[in-house]
A and B are shown apart, each in its own frame.
Chain A
């Protein structure tokens, strides 16, 4: 799995098929997500990520339960999230859940953090959306410590203090899961990702390339500013959004009713307008390949490409056919082509194995990261890197 990772991210929406008016039941949708994840492994994809939602019409309220179940039925697939809500979840519970999942999945776990933009959800978990930004900073600061320090004393504004807390189970091999920070539109996310030297995932699919270019560029600049390496060594992921048939006209005709009625962008711009303004590609596998390879022109060499396939009421059968096309015709070409001209010092996508390797390969303490400078006892985090393998050391923490 050297170089880039390719995967799918699912919102987990229960949407009626516009052709039949029939929506799957919750159990059908949940089981479909499992089937889709297993299919993703079968066709050679690297990652499956699920959203987290706490209100209808969405089903995945408990991502690590879903991912743990999928982990038990897969061998190779990395299980991730898109996104895990850092605001409304207790950081202690996030640390526990993902630590546990790491052990069960043999390390095939990472996660993407997000704020959550649904105001009413916050009070269901004792929080307030007006505090979303400081809440994110405080919760994530604690989460990092829980995964990196054996005994944690902590106090903050948004949860009760911790006195002599030890996480159980400890992260697998002493290596926390890699963290991505996912952003749809806000630059703060790029800043926090850069500050900690974490991955930055641009949702990408609802925005023109100019917006994504600006966000990724900002992240790379700030990553370098905070001393994690050069900008082109920052860890970038992008969303993508495709519908394919061997014949592109067939793809457009089949996808149009789903596009026109989709919950997010339906009843708005036409499919053609949306496809021109955003990364949405509806057409042949070759068109998807060409479009996706073009992302590099404005994002630079990057590490992870996700595709959104199961949404808007598309039948499971259709989604599985999309996965076949993706796995057979698109991903093998993308894997090869993205390597062409890729600079040697651009890191591969981080995996548990790579993080463990870097951790055990020895450390070269040079200077601590700004985030952890305040903590003179923290030997684990005090590393700096200039070349790709050493770069990952700091993430290992």
Chain B
């Protein structure tokens, strides 16, 4: 599990300088090597929290490509539950993750004193079962490496550029 709060300073530093410190780098590696990701954020002002978004802003490109993701959020009232569909799902889709159809939203009522959490536990179970099915269906994940992909493209260009030209005129 990666808690973002202890990484808050590192995330902002990475955003400002492009340099991730060792702890943040470790978090990136943990995500990159995962078979699936469960991403949870509080709902702030009609969206995910700024810290949550910032982590994905500094996460190296391609990290989430083809990765099954279960989205979840918490909030003060269930009236904000569509934050899952309107904020989290589009961002992860954009990042080419495979977002599970069922997300989990938990509001204050779910944690209330009158046993409301039974509903939450059921929703979590259902989402977890769906996610497990998705993970199995997706099979083993091959990690994408932007470093290597850039290189392959450059090799192709260089090779193409040095093809024999028909009308080479050269004098020494």
Contact = CB atoms under 8 A, between A and B. Distances in A.
A188 B154 contact: yes
Nearest to B153: A133
A150 B151 contact: no
A321 interface: no
A207 B19 CA distance: 6
Binding site of B, secondary structure by majority: helix, strand, loop or mixed?
Answer: helix
B154 A191 contact: yes
Interface string B35-66: 00000000000000000000000000000000
Interface residues of B, number: 31
B154 A206 contact: no
Contacts of B139: none
B161 A151 contact: no
Nearest to A186: B150
Given A150-B172, A278-B19, A378-B170, A188 B165 contact: no
Contacts of A265: 16-17, 19
Contact of B170 (A138, A187, A375): A375
Given A192-B154, A208-B19, A375 B168 contact: yes
A133 B169 contact: no
Contacts of A372: 162
B150 A188 contact: yes
Interface string A357-382: 00000000000001111111111100
Interface residues of A, number: 42
Interface string B14-34: 001111011001000000000
B9 to A, nearest CB: 8
A152 B167 CA distance: 10
A149 B170 contact: yes
A264 interface: yes
Nearest to A375: B168
Contacts of B17: 206, 264-265, 268-269, 274
A187 B151 contact: yes
Interface in A184-199: 185-188, 191-192, 195
B27 to A, nearest CB: 15
Interface string A132-146: 011001100100000
Contacts of A188: 150-151, 153-154
Contacts of A134: 157
B21 A371 contact: no
A172 B147 CA distance: 38
B3 interface: no
B23 to A, nearest CB: 11
A130 interface: no
Contacts of B155: 191
Contact of B163 (A186, A218, A374, A377): A374
Nearest to B167: A153
A269 B157 contact: no
B171 interface: yes
Nearest to B170: A377
Given A377-B170, A379-B172, A269 B19 contact: yes
B151 A191 contact: yes
Given A188-B151, A379-B172, A380-B172, A273 B21 contact: yes
Interface string A257-296: 0000000110111000110011000000000000000000
Interface in A310-350: none
Contacts of B163: 374
B162 A371 contact: yes
B13 interface: yes
A179 B11 CA distance: 37
A216 to B, nearest CB: 14
A278 B20 CA distance: 11
Given A153-B167, A378-B170, A137 B157 contact: yes
A206 B19 CA distance: 7
Contact of B13 (A264, A273, A374): A273
Interface in B123-172: 147-148, 150-151, 153-155, 157-159, 161-165, 167-172
Interface of A: 133-134, 137-138, 141, 149-153, 185-188, 191-192, 195, 206-208, 214, 218, 264-265, 267-269, 273-274, 277-278, 370-380
A-B CB proximity, top 7 nearest: A374-B164, A377-B170, A268-B16, A188-B154, A269-B13, A150-B171, A191-B154
Interface of B: 9, 12-13, 16-19, 21-22, 25, 147-148, 150-151, 153-155, 157-159, 161-165, 167-172
7 contacts: A133-B154, A149-B169, A149-B172, A208-B19, A268-B19, A269-B13, A377-B169
